[in-house]
Amino acid sequence: MSIGCIALLFLSCRISDQDSAEIVADSGLDYVHSEISLSQEVVWRSVEPAYATGGELVDINGDGLLDFVVSEGNDMEPGYIRVYHHNGEMLESEASFVSSKAQFYGHVSTGDLNGDGWSDIVVSKFLGTERFDEPGGVEVYLNEEGSLPLTPSWSWDGAYTFSLTLGDMEQDGDIDIAVAVGEAYFNEPDVSFILCNDGSGSFFRCWEDSLPRYSFDVSFCDLNRDGWQDIIFAHQGEGHTIRWGNAEGFSELPDWQAQGDGFEGNTLDWGDINGDEILDIVVSDNNQLGGSGTVRAWCGPDFWLCWESQDDKMMQSAILLRDFDGDGDTDLAASSWWGALRIYEQTEEGLSLEPVFVGNESEIVAEAFSWGAMQKVEKEIFVGSGMIEIPQRRTIASIQKGVFAGGYLFGEEIEAQIYVLDKMGLVLTDWEKYQGNWMFVPEPME
């Protein structure tokens, strides 16, 4: 099956009645493998000592190659925003962009915040300068035609936030920021909130949770495909939650909350894990503070507990849902603190209960994954309107009309170029200070 055919199949079930999309220039490339096979060889490592946490592959300088944006610090030692630019052959091992001031950064997200077609950076500042005695906040770095400022273009302080996400809550064509709030070691729970975009890349608080909680990850996603983005939170000490989006915004109370116990949410993601063309959610629940130590999935549309990893319990952390074997369905990459990279494959019975691939490197302290083309590959022209889920969560190469964030395109008119799934690499961040960040690739990668 060609990439174009795969994309059209996904488009047929991932747009609402009022939205439209079309691939107008199909690359015609085939990318199909019968099994998941990543090389055990680590093909890239960064060299700076740092407690790396967030990470995303995105083209920062507009040269058609994906760069790696990393946020450092976590709760251990202040670090920087770094960009490892692609040099034409591979990511540089030492970042050529480094922000000016070290902070206790959490996770990072990228998207076009001011509608100029360039990828901007938004990062959670987990702690303030007094560490656990001072809350952090949110920083925005607006891309200036391929160059990033050394200091934030916009910032806000006043919350312990480990993660955030980008989307369009209001469907106004401007990218908003949802902020997960909570620090569970030494501080009381707090309310998560949304910062709405004023259209220029500045933000104001426009929604907040009705109850204080410990929330460690968040995602926008149109789970029920009604044309409005919903919001998902991963919590610690209580069930993960979903609120349905609509023209009035989000409700104060969750519309769905996971039942049971063992909740210590570290990372969440969404995708179709069982092939029924309905979106599901997956959460890694750590066990440092009493969580289940497993990765669990709740399947739509009713979001019942439908899958749980059956290998050893551990301090689960980074997860990512993508098509790692190129067969058109969604697989799961997972790792932990001081563990190995694992991949669970989707089959006719759903996700495998145990990993089909386990990396040889068993001491990775993983915090974030990103998956993208690591060489120059073909692109497809994609046009549409409204809110469109990008086929297979592929990476944007360039955009001429509309804006993008979080696996979606938004706008009254959309025209974008999307990378095909070829020459792929899986990168991850590692907060063991002297290990660097890592890249694994499918085997062989020519």
Digit-coded pLDDT (tens) for 15-25: 444 565 565 54
Query: Within 10 Å of residue 151's Cβ, how many Cβ atoms?
Result: 11
Q: Which residues of 240-256 are buried (b: 16+ CB within 10 A; e: fewer)?
A: bbbbbbeeebbeeebeb
Q: Is the dihedral of CA 15, 215, 344, 34 positive or negative?
A: positive
Choose among 424, 423, 427: nearest CA to 437. Answer: 427
Q: Are 162 and 265 in contact (CB under 8 A)?
A: no
Q: Strand locations in 340-395, DSSP E?
A: 342-344, 346-347, 350-351, 357-358, 364-373, 379-389
pLDDT tens across the length of the chain (446 residues): 222 222 322 333 344 445 655 655 444 444 444 467 788 889 999 999 999 999 999 999 999 999 999 999 999 999 999 999 999 999 999 999 999 999 999 999 999 999 999 999 999 999 999 999 999 999 999 999 999 999 999 999 999 999 999 999 999 999 999 999 999 999 999 999 999 999 888 999 999 999 999 999 999 999 999 999 999 999 999 999 999 999 999 998 999 999 999 999 999 999 999 999 999 999 999 999 999 999 999 999 999 999 999 999 999 999 999 999 888 899 999 999 999 999 999 999 999 999 999 999 999 999 999 999 999 899 999 899 999 999 889 999 999 999 999 999 999 999 999 998 889 999 999 999 999 999 999 875 44
* pLDDT at res. 266: 98
Phi/psi of residue 20, nearest 5 degrees: -145, 155
User: Residue 186 in 3-state DSSP?
Assistant: coil
Q: Which residues of 152-171 are buried (b: 16+ CB within 10 A; e: fewer)?
A: bbbebeebbbbbbbbbbbbb
Quick one: tokens of 247? 């023209």
pTM recorded for the entire structure:
0.93
Q: Are 281 and 303 in contact (CB under 8 A)?
A: yes
Q: Is the dihedral of CA 366, 368, 373, 374 positive or negative?
A: negative
Choose among 223, 215, 178, 210: nearest CA to 197. Answer: 178
Quick one: tokens of 330? 């969604």
For the stretch 416-445, pLDDT in tens is 999 988 899 999 999 999 999 999 998 754
Phi/psi of residue 80, nearest 5 degrees: -125, 170
* pLDDT at res. 442: 87
